Amino acid sequence: CPARVSTVMEMLETEGLLGRCVRVEVEILLKEYVELMKSSQKMTEDELKTLADKYDSVFLHPEFFTCACLAVGSVLQLVDKVMTSQLRNGFSVSRPPGHHAHADKMNGYCMFNHLAIAARYAQKQHGVKRVLIVDWDVHHGQGIQYIFEEDPSVLYFSVHRYEDGSFWPHLKESDSSSVGSGAGQGYNINLPWNKIGMEDGDYVTAFQQLLLPVAYEFQPQLVLVAAGFDSVIGDPKGEMRVSPQCFSILTHMLKGVAQGRLVLALEGGYNLQSIAEGVCASVSSLLGDPCPHLISPGAPSESALKSISKTISALYPFWKSLQTHKYFCFLRFLNVLCAEVKASSLITGLVYDQRMMLHHNMWDG
Ligand SMILES: [Zn+2]
């Protein structure tokens, strides 16, 4: 939907962010494409429909192939610029999205998995040994998971709506028990939300207590982000309640990893205003603006804490940073926190901050 791109670009302009960015014009960099996808450019409407019907949740258009190539090309160019220090970081505002695409088939409006391609490209072209892919789109990027499942050189972290498998893509492998296989065991981290309405405190806690400790231990040389904004307040599909400002904080946190080599690529989102606000918040952080105050950070919800502790229990055998005070210690802390939050009629940012500090110290010890 071209309106996503135009709405985002208009708000970046209005907010005065666009003029501060370096614009990178897109070239088609990939020469080899799956011939079937290439042939879709010349198909009739009926042929396109027949082809699309072979996949899960796919729409095809004669221009789709070209757009998908441009989307991949834009991410690869940003990787080039960031890895050669021409740019500090970057955001690719492009369509279609990519994180559902498998190596050999379309899925969920995605033709090519541009972040997976970008990770491999960075490894081959720039000698990058370890890539972290963070996926904050509200859907699980199962395509990325499948591609790197057995690969310890790419750490994939996805936080997504799951509801015990009732939310698309309805896969049991989107649950926290999927930690990768073979040599890739421990390098796939799924944080499934089992309730809707997750807020800033839930996402900030997930990043602070789960993602960042592992990311620092993994020491990636490049961070790629599947930046969907369907978890922002007002998105009709995601039904979460994350503020756009929260994405400034999350982006800021990731800037401390991989010497700030960070490339974000637009993924999903079904509310144009929410997408544009989320992108602006992220770009503002990439440009070095101070993080905004969260209007109502609140405490993490009980359901979120359960999900986080379940994921830690699946992952702690693989990461020293998760073993320092053992999973049961974390769980005990969470139980105390939940009890205190329940007991308090007024949940303030101060209470939340104190708890986070306490917890942080526990981790350090
Ligand atoms: Zn999505």
**Cα 127 to Cα 146: distance, rounded to the nearest angstrom:** 23
**Cα 249 to Cα 349: distance, rounded to the nearest angstrom:** 15
- Burial of 226-245, coded b for 16+ CB within 10 Å and e otherwise, reads bbbbbbbbbbebbbbbbbbb
Q: Domains of the chain: which residue ranges?
A: 2-364
- Cα(107) to centroid(ligand 1), Å: 12
Residues 7-47 pLDDT 10s = 999 999 999 999 998 887 665 444 444 666 777 888 888 88
Residues 311-360 pLDDT 10s = 999 998 999 999 875 555 566 666 666 555 554 433 433 333 344 444 43
- Cα(362) to centroid(ligand 1), Å: 34
Backbone phi and psi for residue 154, each to the nearest 5 degrees, phi listed first: -125, 115
Which residues line ion ligand 1, judged by CB < 5 Å?
137, 139, 228, 230, 268
- Cα(252) to centroid(ligand 1), Å: 22
Backbone phi and psi for residue 8, each to the nearest 5 degrees, phi listed first: -60, -45
Are 331 and 309 a contacting pair, CB within 8 Å?
Answer: yes
- Cα(255) to centroid(ligand 1), Å: 23
Residues 285-300 pLDDT 10s = 999 999 998 877 678 9
Residues 236-263 pLDDT 10s = 999 999 999 999 999 999 999 999 999 9
Average pLDDT, the chain: 86
Q: Residue written as tokens 């922002």?
A: 232
| pLDDT score at 53 | 84
Which residue stretches of the chain are H helix? 2-14, 35-39, 45-52, 64-83, 114-126, 142-148, 200-206, 212-218, 246-254, 272-286, 302-315, 327-343, 349-364
Question: How many percent of the chain have pLDDT more than 90?
Answer: 65
| pLDDT score at 335 | 61
Average pLDDT over residues 256-275: 96
- Cα(322) to centroid(ligand 1), Å: 28
The verdict on domain 2-364 having CATH code 3.20.20.70 is no
**Cα 145 to Cα 189: distance, rounded to the nearest angstrom:** 9
- Cα(139) to centroid(ligand 1), Å: 4
Q: Is the pTM of this model over 0.95?
A: no
- Cα(195) to centroid(ligand 1), Å: 16
Residues 46-102 pLDDT 10s = 888 887 888 777 777 778 888 888 899 899 999 999 999 999 999 999 989 999 998
**Alpha-carbon Rg for the chain in angstroms:** 20
Tell me which residues are annotated as active site.
100
**Cα 74 to Cα 67: distance, rounded to the nearest angstrom:** 10
